[in-house]
Amino acid sequence: MSVALSTAPPAPSRRTRTLVATYEALTIGLDYEDGMIGRMRGVDVLRFRAGTRRFVAFTNPEYVDHVLHAGRLKYHKSFEYEILRAILGVSLFTDEDESWQRHRTMLGPMFGKRHLDSLLDLMIAPIEASRAALATEDGRIEVDMVGEMVELTLNVVGNALFGQQFARIATSMSGLVTYGLRFAEHLERLFIVFAPPKRAWRGLSSVAFTPIPLPPPFRRIQSIVRILDQAVWDVIDERRAHPTDSPDLLNHLLGAEDGQGRLPLRRVRDEALTFMLAGHETTANALSWMWYLLALNPDARARLLDEVDEVLQGRTPTVQDLPRLPWTAACFHEAMRYFSPAWAIPRVAIADDVVAGHHIRKGTTVIIPTHHIHHDERWWRDPEEFDPSRFLPGASKGRPRSAYLPFGGGKRMCIGSSFATMESVLITAMLSQRFVFDLAPGHPVQPEATLTLRPRHGLKMIARRRPVA
């Protein structure tokens, strides 16, 4: 592997490194620990080329702030999101400019506190079902925590979104998602060298929803896409034929409107599918990593169990209980820092820009390496330690706002962040009322950087039943 280094032209006080990479170096760099990713430590700016594409990685929160806040209108989501757009359609996750702004304004009230509070009962039901399924006579059971969390979060999101659980497809979802994410990663590696014109790619990807069979290995992805697409359309059609007064999110999507009218049904489908897939996949990974980190840090876990027992006294959580579980929430947020599912955020410059003296040419892909910002000792004390106290009320004072980006940042910050936090605190508290989770002896744990950061070999854990408080 050959790598050529040269000096970039920032102000003398800024550390920078410019790196011109071969394809081999770049693909290794996509791995979690090796290659160029490791070279980012302590570096503010990393430049490289691959094929026809130019890249800049920013690891300084000041520079990231510019991309996500002050200079955001000069950046769109990069071509990598086209892979997701092919599956999810045009949603808040993949939309841009005026269309994004209009729909963000329309859908914002769905995720306001008042409406989220009304979803609590819908979220609790599948958690109770999952907790009951873990119970055994001897009080001990081995589980694949990734699969367990994928199924549970899919059912929680399905209940909150559609007013019904997705148990009929949840059991197979983990394998489908894993295959899809790895396949998408391979496509991303290819597109890093050469990104096809958007119009050509969108024309090809639209075939995925037709009866026309795609060639292998695209055919399996096409099958997965069509299964998910049909499942969502079935629920939408059923709701339109038999309206309900449920507080679920689908009713809000179907009723959302502004001065230009209501959401088209296709947009309802796209938003619903995005929320179902993106909403459960990232949260499932974050929770899986949290249980793993808690198993490795028994003092933090003991404090969580004590808090849950003291606040809930063995009963089902209410909306009023959530603010009284700060350590429980802090454990989730610290897990999101330590193993952030969204391990990198890519953008593309749609106009020339200057960031702290660094010229960014139109067409350059800007990468925000979230994981490495979260582990940079310049912004985090002892970043390799699991320390939930970083996220207790008031603890973030003095921390750069773009030093913590599990849900992105700026106006494009994930609209479902409050939902994900509420869901995760409920899941953590309710499962902790009944169980303690320890890592299965001898099970290898290795992060895998696909589109999200996941345990490569799953996460086998032992669930031990606790005495009922």
Q: List, in order, residues 6 or more apart from 114 with CB less than 8 Å away.
A: none
- Which sign does the torsion angle of CA 212, 167, 138, 317 carry? positive
Phi, psi of 164 (to 5 degrees): -155, 150
Q: What is the pLDDT of residues 102-158, one digit of tens each?
A: 999 999 999 999 999 999 999 999 999 999 999 887 788 999 999 899 889 988 998
Query: In which residue are the tokens 């795609």 written?
Result: 214
| CA pair distance 328, 305, nearest whole angstrom | 9
Contact status, residue 68 vs residue 408, Cβ threshold 8 Å: yes
**Cis status of the peptide bond prior to 326, with omega within 30 of 0:** no
Give the pLDDT confidence score for residue 198 in this predicted structure. Answer: 74
Which pLDDT score, from 0 to 100, does residue 317 have? 97
Distance of CA 90 to the CA centre of its chain: 18
Q: What is the pLDDT of residue 204?
A: 67
**246 C-beta neighbours (distance < 10 Å), count:** 17
Closest CA to 130 of 145, 146, 153, 152: 152
pTM for this structure?
A: 0.88
Per-residue model confidence as pLDDT tens for the chain (469 residues): 222 222 233 343 344 444 444 333 333 344 444 545 556 666 799 888 877 889 999 999 999 999 999 999 999 998 888 877 887 889 999 999 999 999 999 999 999 999 999 999 999 999 999 999 998 877 889 999 998 998 899 889 989 998 876 655 555 555 666 666 667 666 766 676 677 777 777 776 777 667 777 777 677 777 777 877 888 898 899 999 999 999 999 999 999 999 999 999 999 999 998 898 888 889 999 999 999 999 999 999 999 999 999 999 999 999 999 999 999 999 999 999 999 998 889 999 999 999 999 999 999 999 999 998 999 999 999 999 999 999 999 999 989 999 999 999 999 999 999 999 999 999 999 999 999 999 999 999 988 877 788 898 899 999 999 986 5
Residue closest to 430 by CA, chosen among 335, 279, 286, 312: 312
Rounded-to-integer distance, Cα 190 and Cα 155, Å: 34
Domains in the chain, please, with CATH? 3-465 (1.10.630.10)
Backbone angles phi and psi of 75, in degrees to 5: -135, 140
216, 253 Cβ separation under 8 angstroms: no
- Annotate 73-111 with b (16+ C-beta within 10 A) or e (fewer): ebbbbbbbbbbbbbbbbbbbbbbeeeebeebeebbeebb
| Greatest Cα-to-Cα distance within the chain, rounded to the nearest angstrom | 67
Residue 163 CA, distance from chain mean position = 23
Pair 333, 391: CB distance under 8 Å: yes
Q: Residue 168 has which token pair? A: 């009929």
pLDDT at res. 210: 73
Specify the amino acid at residue 135: A
- Say how far apart CA 308 and CA 317 lie, in whole Å: 10
Distance between CA atoms of residues 10 and 59, nearest Å: 14
